[in-house]
Amino acid sequence: MFCFRSHALGSLSIVKNSFSINKVYQNTKVSLRMSSASATSSSPPKWELRSAMCLERTPIILPPMTKIEQEMTEIIEKLDTARSLKSDHELRQDEDKKLLQMITDGTQEENNPDAATRQTSQDFEDACNEELQKFKPASRITAEDLSGDRKSTNRKLDKHLLFIVQEKKEDKKVWKLPESRWKDGETLRETAERALKECVKIPDTSVRVLGNAPWGVQTIKYPTSVRQKLGFEGVKVFFFKAQLLSACHTCLDTEHNWLGREELTECLEPEYLRSVKKFLIDED
């Protein structure tokens, strides 16, 4: 379960192996040239490389507290007040109480001219409460939540929302993360950014891509007929993760949705969903 350390060591071994892989790769290249007529069983399989961008709208508000969390906050508040010293406001309250008592006992009459004009602590508290009542914070459940508008990001504010695009393939409408094919001369991250640019107006929306390394991979093997036709063993889709930093302006012709985790299970294909869910953050 706690294979954190072993994975760290594993990544180190990958770095070490990269140099040996280079040599292996060169050897196979040489062997290919030498035996061009022979079968391609010794050569490494060729994969079509694609890069997909997983754009997420991170939560804007906190999730509601569970029962145990509420109880704990109450306890902590009580302990903190018990261990603290009195504030100026509380000292004023004590003074006011004393004055009141004196007046009721009759020891001190209201000969103090300032007493009438003095703002008691109670007045101050009432004024503060009034001001608080006037302020209305925004509601946690938005209009889009109630209407179920899947195209807007102003929905499910305490959850993550994933950007999904519809792809029309042979009369089949498939929901996918925006992806595009890798071109020569660019890194996979750049491919992913290009894929996103086709769906979202990039200079208007600010997006933060989290690193140069892919977060996940999905292998789709072609059937043998397609394999021979295209020359590729299959497709390898590398996923890159990004965070939405501003409001999203999508291009007009993209059919898109912003889905929460439960809605993903409805829309995405199961194999695809499995690869994607591996690198997404858990939610209750």
Partner 1 sequence: MNKLLRVRESFILSSRMITTNTYFPSFLQVSTPLLAEPMKKKKKMDPQILKAREERKKKRIEKSIKKLEKNVKQLKPIEEIDLTINLQKEKLARQRAKIDEESLLNKRQDILKTWCTFKYQQHLLERKMIDRIWSSQSEALKQLAVISEELYIGAIQVDSLLLPFSAVGPTSTPPLHDYEVLDGEYFDETPKLK
Q: Does 14 bind partner 1 (CB under 8 A)?
A: yes
From residue 64, alpha-carbon distances to 24, 28, 52, 283 in Å are 55, 58, 33, 13
- Identify the three-state secondary structure at position 179: strand
Q: What character string, x for contact with partner 1 (CB under 8 A) and - otherwise, covers 50-79?
A: --------xxxxx---x-x--xx--x----
Residue 158 interacts with partner 1 (CB under 8 A)? yes
- Taking the C-alpha atoms of residue 92 and residue 31, their distance in angstroms, rounded to an integer, is 91
Q: Which of 174, 215, 227, 263 binds partner 1 (CB under 8 A)?
A: 215
Burial class (CB within 10 angstroms; exposed 0-12, middle 13-18, buried 19+) of 143: exposed
52 close to 182: Cβ distance less than 8 angstroms: no
* Residue 166 near residue 256, CB atoms below 8 Å: yes
CA-CA-CA-CA torsion for 184, 187, 191, 197, nearest 10 degrees?
A: -120
Binding of partner 1 by 42 (CB under 8 A): no
Q: Is 156 in the site for partner 1 (CB under 8 A)?
A: no
Question: Which one, 113 or 203, has the nearer CB to partner 1?
Answer: 203
Instruction: Give CA separation, 163 vs 54, 96, 243, 248, 268, in Å.
Output: 7, 59, 10, 10, 12
Rounded Cα distance, 207 and 18, in Å: 32
Under rule CB under 8 A, which residues in 77-96 are in contact with partner 1? 82, 84-87, 90-91
Q: How far is the CB of 130 from partner 1 (least distance, A)?
A: 16
Task: Sketch the per residue contact string, 222 through 241, with partner 1: x for CB under 8 A, - otherwise.
Answer: --------------x-xx--
Min separation Cβ 219 and partner 1, Å: 8
Does the protein bind partner 1 through residue 119 (CB under 8 A)? no
- Minimum distance from CB of 121 to partner 1 (Å)? 15
How distant is the alpha carbon of residue 276 from its chain centre?
Answer: 13
160 binds partner 1 (CB under 8 A): no
In the bound state with partner 1, the residue whose beta carbon lies nearer, of 233 and 255, is 233
Report the nearest approach of partner 1 to the CB of residue 75 (Å). Answer: 6
CA 162/CA 153 separation, integer angstroms: 9
Stretch that binds partner 1, among 29-37, 109-117, 195-203, 212-220 (CB under 8 A): 212-220
187 binds partner 1 (CB under 8 A): yes
Q: How many CB atoms lie within 10 A of CB 43?
A: 13
Which residues form the interface with partner 1 (CB under 8 A)?
1-4, 7, 10-11, 14-15, 17-18, 21-22, 25, 44, 47, 49, 58-62, 66, 68, 71-72, 75, 82, 84-87, 90-91, 137-140, 142, 157-158, 187-189, 208-217, 219, 236, 238-239, 243, 275, 278-279, 281-282
